[in-house]
Amino acid sequence: MTKHYSEADLLETYYMQPDEASAIIAHVNGCQECQDRYRRLAQKLRDIAACPAEKPPTFWTRQRLMILRAVDNARKHSDRASRVGRMAAAAMLAFLLGGVVVYKTVQPKAPAVVVTQQTAAPATAPDDLLVPRDPWQSDELKDFGTVVQWESWVDARSGGSSL
């Protein structure tokens, strides 16, 4: 049983060099089934080549209108995009110029130098620096009596420091 070639294989012989297609041509010359397939393929190619390629005038009119509409839409879109770009550039320029003007008008001035005359503090008596033995008994902490009581019962329960 011999291998028969398909229409695709036979179609390739049209595009091959004669020395490359010699094996297929030799087989087609000796095989009736492949000869019939090759004839049908040749007839199809002749029919396609004979097909009129002329288009009616309405086809070309419709094509021209579609192209002109696409060009007009693209032009409108590009005009809109360029307009938006110009507006954005103008806004950015105004922002930068405004920043420069504000920066120039509000320049930081040199800080004023304050000269203070220091005087030596008189020596204090050692009695003023004495801290009471129990800090909770000071005059500043009289309002915090409940906290003082809380500290005392925490010390009593834990048997040591609250910290």
Question: Does any domain span residue 15?
Answer: yes
| HSE (side-chain half, CA atoms, 13 Å) at 91 | 6
Quick one: pLDDT at residue 90? 92
Alpha-carbon distance of 137 to 145, in angstroms, equals 9
Q: Is residue 46 part of a domain?
A: yes
33, 41 contact by CB (below 8 A): no
Say yes or no: 36 and 21 in one domain: yes
Q: Is residue 97 part of a domain?
A: yes
Task: Let me know whether 40 and 79 are in one domain.
Answer: no
- To the nearest 10 degrees (0 to 180), the angle between helices 32-50 and 22-30 is 110
pLDDT top residue among 159 and 34: 34
Residue 138 in any domain: the answer is no
Q: Report the candidate in 29, 4, 9, 31 with the shortest Cα–Cα distance to residue 20.
A: 9
Q: What is the pLDDT of residues 106-129, one digit of tens each?
A: 666 667 677 777 776 665 555 555
Answer yes or no: pTM beyond 0.75: no
Task: Confirm whether 17 is domain-assigned.
Answer: yes
Angle separating helix axes 7-15 and 32-50, nearest 10 degrees: 60
Total domains in the fold of the chain: 2
Q: How far is it, in rounded angstroms, from Cα 91 to Cα 72?
A: 29
| pLDDT tens digits for range 21-69 | 788 888 888 889 888 988 998 888 888 877 777 778 888 889 889 988 9
Tell me whether residue 75 is in a domain: yes
User: Token pair for residue 17?
Assistant: 């060099």
Q: How far apart are CA 41 and CA 24, in angstroms?
A: 15
- Amino acid 66: pLDDT: 92
Question: Is the same domain home to 44 and 76?
Answer: no
Q: Are residues 67 and 92 both part of a single domain?
A: yes
| Residue 35 included in any domain | yes
- Span of 20-34, 91-105, 136-150 with lowest mean pLDDT: 136-150
Range of the domain at 84: 55-104
